A and B are shown apart, each in its own frame.
Chain A
């Protein structure tokens, strides 16, 4: 058995912590989302990073500036929530996101009040296709 010097242990732990933080950041950037069709998105993958696309079938913009969209593809439907802070900060042009337009979206799948939704975090997470 051996005993470690306290200062040495602190340095090792500190370096491991920093290495871990760096790796989490780096791998997070490199991680690509699972490409899924809306129909195949089920509650058992809530929390996963996914990308999908669909046609906007409903659009509501609140007085506070939040935008709520519903995408449809085949039989499947998925809600997309864009808060006003996101729209303003990321300078997202929501005027093109109207009914009938096809939208590609990526983000972490969430469940709110029993409905599945994606809340994008960066402007590159939302793309108007046509």
Chain B
């Protein structure tokens, strides 16, 4: 019993650290994993350190929607949540937006575990079968995404933004001017976060009075569909190199017709948590670590047995439960503060904070990348087309990679 209590305390400590990391835009667990590993002497055993890392990773996945939706300051995995999240926030439904991501994530935890338990072997075969065709699928999605603008002028604008973002992606993701470890931070912060914040700032946006009722304006059918699609796509992301959470979310958004703001938030959070879980257990399933956290676990433990996996799955569920409660708790408190304070001043502080973080993490090269990404993001806004076309920044490099043209 004492043995288990030790692990629970370590997990709670990891949850607290994950909470802090999740609230800080630009701070991903991958940035601090080397520090965690160097602290191994402070943990009773390698298993304790592993439980700590798992708890941090899972909690951060939940909490990171708070800065993304309330402040427009996203992570790589939550970049696409900024727009639907902000849309609901300005409709007075910010609390509902966060609840949707929490429900999507919690349901996906269980569905992902079922997927992994029953279909793990089939996923690797599916990957082998589908790999030669992936660039066709992504290209098809990009075409559907552009044509969905319907009017010819908007289609041309969407094509321009897609290719401009795509060329920007090819250049910046291969550029030596910024460490490739951190390059996505200025790229996605500018395209999705900072450009939106600058517009909010210039328009002197005010957060409307928020509603805290328990109503969820999503049908059970749509919720179920979004969770299943999110969980499935998240596991696929775990299997496929060069496909990230954002690319998968864009694919599912158009192929699965989950584009409506509420459905999309559920799907995105489902993909995010499902990918995180699959990456954590991939070390056991496919003998290949698929995330920074699982690489760290491999370094710490060497490998995983079936018993280890079951033990860690228990702590994944435990951390997810605690993180969900904290996220809901914070989602009720934060909008009340946002209503009271001057949102324009807050937006200014966040803009300065994001630029400072980019400078700190990526230097002047990162600032140049940020300048470009903000310009493209603003161009997309002023052309009046959907922000998802900016995902060309990741989709075009993926198409080129899978087509062997990288």
Q: Does B295 contact A (CB under 8 A)?
A: yes
* Interface residue A28 (Cβ < 8 Å from any Cβ of B): yes
Chain A residues numbered 13-51 whose CB sits less than 8 Å from any CB in chain B: 13-14, 16-17, 20-21, 23-25, 27-28, 31, 33, 43-49
B67 at the A interface (CB under 8 A) = no
Q: Are B372 and A113 in contact (CB under 8 A)?
A: no
A20 x B372 contact (CB < 8 A):
yes
Q: Is the CB of B382 within 8 A of A48?
A: no
A20 to B168, CA, bound (A): 9
Interface of A, helix, strand, loop or mixed by DSSP: helix
Give every chain A residue within 8 A of B369 (Cβ-Cβ): 20, 24
Q: Given A23-B368, A85-B404, A111-B295, answer yes or no on A28-B379 (Cβ-Cβ < 8 Å).
A: no
A50 to chain B, nearest CB (A): 9
Within the complex, what minimum Cβ distance (angstroms) separates B292 from chain A?
A: 9
Q: In this assembly, does A6 line the interface, its C-beta being within 8 Å of a C-beta of chain B?
A: yes
- A24 adjacent to B289 (CB under 8 Å): no
A129 interface residue per 8 A CB criterion: no
The complex places the Cα of A87 from the Cα of B57 at a distance, in Å, of 38
B376 touches A17 (CB 8 A): yes
Q: Is the CB of A21 within 8 A of B372?
A: yes
Q: In the complex, what residues of B have CB within 8 A of residue A20's CB? A: 168, 368-369, 371-373, 375-376
Identify 8 residue pairs between A and B in the complex whose beta-carbon atoms are under 8 Å apart, listed by A's number: A13-B376, A17-B168, A20-B368, A20-B373, A20-B376, A21-B168, A24-B177, A46-B180
- Contact surface of A with B, Cβ cutoff 8 Å: 6, 9-10, 13-14, 16-17, 20-21, 23-25, 27-28, 31, 33, 43-49, 85, 108, 110-111, 113-114, 121
B residues within 8 Å of A by Cβ?
34, 164, 167-168, 171-172, 174-177, 179-183, 288-289, 295, 298-299, 365, 368-369, 371-373, 375-376, 378-379, 382-383, 404
